[in-house]
Structure 1
Amino acid sequence: MVDISHNPLDMIFHALGDETRRRMLAALSQGERSVGELAEPFSMSLAAASKHIKVLEAAGLIRREIRGRTHLCRLDPGPLAGAHQWLSAYEHFWTGRLDVLERLLHAEDAAFPRQKPDGE
């Protein structure tokens, strides 16, 4: 059995680690949806959709409101800021690595200029 941490960042990445939940979040970015509306594109039962929604709720990524018999879900993007901040350290790493690659390629182009084919 997988032991899920209660660290907020761990819970966010666990929630985002599943394609179904990422697609649910994408749908919620367009506006609130009922559990049935979130389940419909996946041809899954309401019980299965509810399990995914509970993971998203536990991570703080969505809020669920009950109106009568309808459960409406709404995106709460706030916790994504923490994930973005954590990932941004790696963004700087890759940007730096790509900058080094660009300089190397420019140096190689300068050292070995391409010769034009005959007739140009």
Structure 2
Amino acid sequence: MAVTLLIIYTVVYFVGYCGALGLNLLVRRDLVPSRTAGVILVLAACAVYFFFTVQALLALDMGRFSSHDQGRIVGEMLANVLLPLTVVLIFVSFAARRERRRRNTEQRSARIDPTA
């Protein structure tokens, strides 16, 4: 289940990212940050899925399970929601950091140009 949600969150992120890029191209300026739009869309999808997971958990008769099984059920449901979100957010932060480093090295090399 977690792998399926990871794929879904990735698709949702790229839909938000490409949608923001398309909007920026349409208005010919940087109106919406693309990464931010993708992350906000993923957080919204995660919140909706988390809400329905909690509703299913509340509808489940937990009294018939032992305390160990109750904790395991709650843990698995929360892990299925939060683990794919964490993976997507780590990937996005890594990509943003890599882009920022690349941009900084380009600016430094442009300032210190030995051929100028």
- TM-score, normalization by structure 1: 0.33
Structure with greater helix percent: 2
More strand per residue: 1
With structure 2 as the length reference, what TM-score do the two structures score? 0.34
Structure having the higher Rg: 1
